Amino acid sequence: MQYGFVKVCAATPDMRVADVEYNTDKIIEAVKKSAENGSLLTVFPELCICGYTCGDLFGQSALIKACEDGLGKIVAATECLKALVFVGAPVAVDGKLYNCAVAINDGNILAVIPKTYLPDYCEFYEKRYFAPAPTGDRFNVISLCGFGEVYFGKSCIFRAENFPEFTVAAEICEDMWAPLSPSIKHTQAGANIIVNLSCSDETVGKAGFRRDLVKVQSAKLICGYVYCDSGDGESSTDMTFAGHNIIGENGKILAESKLFDKGLLYGEIDVEMLAGERRRKASGYYSYDVEYFGIAFKTTEENFVFTRKFSKTPFVPENGLDERSELILKIQQTGLEKRLKHTGVKTAVVGISGGLDSALALIVTARAFKALGKPLSDIVAVTMPCFGTTSRTKNNSLKLIDSVGATAKVIPVNNSVLRHFKDIGHSEDDRNVTYENAQARMRTLVLMDLANDYNGLVIGTGDLSELALGWATYNGDHMSMYGVNSSVPKTLVRHLIAYEAERIGGKCGRVLEDILNTEISPELLPPSTDGEITQKTEDIVGPYILHDFFLYYIVRHAFEPEKVFYLAKEAFKEEFDEKTILKWLKNFYKRFFAQQFKRSCMPDGVKVGSVSLSPRGDWRMPSDATSDLWLKKLDNL
Catalytic residues: 46, 115, 173
Closest C-alpha among 596, 354, 603, 345 to residue 451: 345
Q: Measured between alpha carbons, how far apart are the two ends of the chain, in Å? A: 18
Q: Where are the beta strands (DSSP E) in 482-563?
A: 482-483
Q: How far, in Å, are 166, 183, 264, 308, 557 from residue 287 at the CA level?
A: 16, 14, 34, 30, 21
Bin 250: left if φ > 0, else alpha if -120 < ψ < 50, else beta: left
Q: What span, in angstroms and rounded, lies between the C-alpha atoms of 237 and 635?
A: 64
Burial of 579 (0-12, 13-18, 19+ CB in 10 A): exposed
Q: What span, in angstroms and rounded, lies between the C-alpha atoms of 530 and 172?
A: 71
State the CB neighbour count (10 A cutoff) for residue 188. 17
Q: What span, in angstroms and rounded, lies between the C-alpha atoms of 87 and 230?
A: 12
Helix (H, G, I), strand (E, B) or coil at 30: helix
State the CB neighbour count (10 A cutoff) for residue 310. 14
Q: Where are the beta strands (DSSP E) in 271-412?
A: 293-297, 347-351, 379-383, 407-410
Does residue 142 contact residue 135 with C-beta atoms inside 8 Å? no
Burial of 127 (0-12, 13-18, 19+ CB in 10 A): exposed
- The three-state DSSP-derived secondary structure of 151-168 is EECCCEEEEECCCCCCEE
- Which residues, 6+ apart, have CB-to-CB distance to 453 below 8 Å? none
Q: What span, in angstroms and rounded, lies between the C-alpha atoms of 197 and 462?
A: 50
Backbone angles phi, psi at 171, to 5 degrees: -135, 170
State the CB neighbour count (10 A cutoff) for residue 546. 24
Tell me which DSSP letter residue 556 carries: I
Tell me which DSSP letter residue 125 carries: -
Contacts 24+ apart (CB under 8 A), 315-324: 315/489, 315/491, 315/492, 315/548, 315/552, 315/609, 315/611, 316/491, 316/492, 316/495, 321/495, 321/499, 322/499
Does residue 103 contact residue 85 with C-beta atoms inside 8 Å? yes
- Which residues, 6+ apart, have CB-to-CB distance to 615 below 8 Å? 599, 600, 601, 602, 621
- Which residues, 6+ apart, have CB-to-CB distance to 373 below 8 Å? none
